[in-house]
Structure 1
Amino acid sequence: MEFLKEAEIMKQLCHERLIKLLAVCTEREPFCIVTELMKKGNLQKYLKSHSEARNLEFSLLNGFAIQIAEGMVYLEEKCCIHRDLRTENVLLTEMLCCKISDFGLAQLLQNDQGWMSHDAKVPIKWMAPEIFREYSYTVKSDVWSFGVLLTEIVSYGEVPFPGKNNNEFVKDLLDGANISPPASCPDNLHDIVLQCWNQNSERRPTFKQLQAMLMKCNPMLKTEEELLLST
């Protein structure tokens, strides 16, 4: 059963930025996975609830990105690819702490590369070009998805690339057409998104590098040296 594969992967992962597995119920249907309660629901819904007022501080939005990157650094170290990284699969605690969830498509890699089956149900607009070309998947493919997730955050949960349907998006992607972050993307995140979307997967940053870049963007996070200079 597919959900047992998901549970097995979750059993091997333990980090404060990942949803915690509590139990697996298989005695009788409906079979289910039991996780910790996340009172604020998923990040996409939270962002959309503020989309009209757009009243969230950049430091909070960027903080979401930093926390998600932190979780992905752990997965990268564990040679685990998520393959479904998007705001809908990030859950929030009551204190607005992020936890990555939904490991239904995740894989623990024996080497650096995994494969996507032709009939897999994947979120098209979050997928890197190499997936459509070779059906191959690496940690750097998750980096591409993280770039899309950043655009979701700054656009308050808007569906990525709203001017294109899935077929148009894939065609442009495979033709090498330039894709750009939304106009709402701040300048200091714009370059980070474009680095995530490098057509050459090997040139995309690691999640550790992304976490460092994002921390530099956050005005609330000062280095020890800056704090000393300000006293």
Structure 2
Amino acid sequence: MLSSAHLIYMSGQISEGMAYLEDRNIVHRDLAARNILVGDDLVCKVADFGLARIIRDSVYTASRNTKIPVRWTAPEAALHQRFSVKSDVWSFGVLLYEMMSRGKMPYEGSFLNKEVMTILTSGYRLACPTRCPENIYKIMMDCWAAEPSKRPSFHALHSQLDDMDCNVLVLSQRKRSQI
């Protein structure tokens, strides 16, 4: 079973991959656990670029009939078809939820997609998963800021997660040396 330390390590790699896309003005539009490839030594790669687009002026506006994964999509993208790096950041928060909940479906239960949008626009956010470190849940909540400009960049997310990963590594090495 993967520990929180493993999941932090993996999420740091995913945020680094998304920072790469951010630098190239590419919006993924379908960031979710199902679209992450995991290889040997837990090496993670962002995959499935079928919905990805190059953005101009920081936003890509999709046509109204575009199918989108509502449970992973920021409200401004789902309601107004306005996708940006910041809507990908929202999706990254949901991906973190999937990872830390060990694979739970976001907004599980009988919620229809329309109901998910209604509760999100009224301020509801997913609860902290069991065994999820508080600092990771804070990152999720930062990713789910109602105002897109208040969401962190992928570079900031990578820096935070990389720092956490290094701290976990140092602590685990200390524990081993005390044995």
Q: TM-score, normalised by structure 1?
A: 0.69
Q: Please say if residues 86 and 153 of structure 2, whose CA atoms lie closer than 8 Å, have aligned partners that are also in contact.
A: yes
1:204 aligns with 151
SS at 1:95's partner residue? helix
Q: Distance in 2 between matches of 1:109 and 1:162?
A: 32
Deviation string 1:139-165 (CA, Å, 9 cap, x unpaired) is: 000000000000000111111111333
Paired AA for residue 132 in structure 1:
A
Q: Please say if residues 125 and 161 of structure 1, whose CA atoms lie closer than 8 Å, have aligned partners that are also in contact.
A: yes
Q: Please say if residues 115 and 137 of structure 1, whose CA atoms lie closer than 8 Å, have aligned partners that are also in contact.
A: yes
Q: State yes or no: 1:191 paired with 2:99.
A: no
Paired AA for residue 75 in structure 1:
L
Paired AA for residue 117 in structure 1:
S
Q: Distance in 2 between matches of 1:119 and 1:150?
A: 28
Aligned match for 1:168, one of 101, 112, 115? 115
Taking the TM superposition and a 5 Å limit, the aligned residue runs for 1:25-36 are none
Q: Please say if residues 25 and 58 of structure 2, whose CA atoms lie closer than 8 Å, have aligned partners that are also in contact.
A: yes
Paired AA for residue 113 in structure 1:
V
**Quick check: which has more Rg, 1 or 2?**
1
Q: Please say if residues 144 and 196 of structure 1, whose CA atoms lie closer than 8 Å, have aligned partners that are also in contact.
A: yes
Percent identical residues: 38
2:87 aligns with 141
Q: Please say if residues 128 and 144 of structure 1, whose CA atoms lie closer than 8 Å, have aligned partners that are also in contact.
A: yes
Unaligned runs of 5+ in 2: 175-179
Q: Shift of the alpha carbon at 1:120?
A: 1.4
Q: Distance in 2 between matches of 1:213 and 1:95?
A: 21
Unaligned runs of 5+ in 1: 1-54
Q: State yes or no: 1:84 paired with 2:25.
A: no
Deviation string 1:32-74 (CA, Å, 9 cap, x unpaired) is: xxxxxxxxxxxxxxxxxxxxxxx31211111110000000010
Q: Please say if residues 79 and 108 of structure 1, whose CA atoms lie closer than 8 Å, have aligned partners that are also in contact.
A: yes
The CA RMSD measured in Å over matched residues stands at 1.8
- Compare relative contact order (CA 8 Å, sep 6+) and give the higher one, 1 or 2: 2
Q: Please say if residues 70 and 78 of structure 2, whose CA atoms lie closer than 8 Å, have aligned partners that are also in contact.
A: no
Q: Distance in 2 between matches of 1:203 and 1:189?
A: 17
- Which has a greater percent of helix? 2
Taking the TM superposition and a 5 Å limit, the aligned residue runs for 1:96-115 are 96-115=42-61
- In the comparison of the two structures, how many residue pairs are matched? 169
SS at 1:220's partner residue? helix
Q: TM-score, normalised by structure 2?
A: 0.87
Deviation string 1:80-106 (CA, Å, 9 cap, x unpaired) is: 000000010001123321011100000
Paired AA for residue 168 in structure 2:
M
Q: Shift of the alpha carbon at 1:221?
A: 4.3
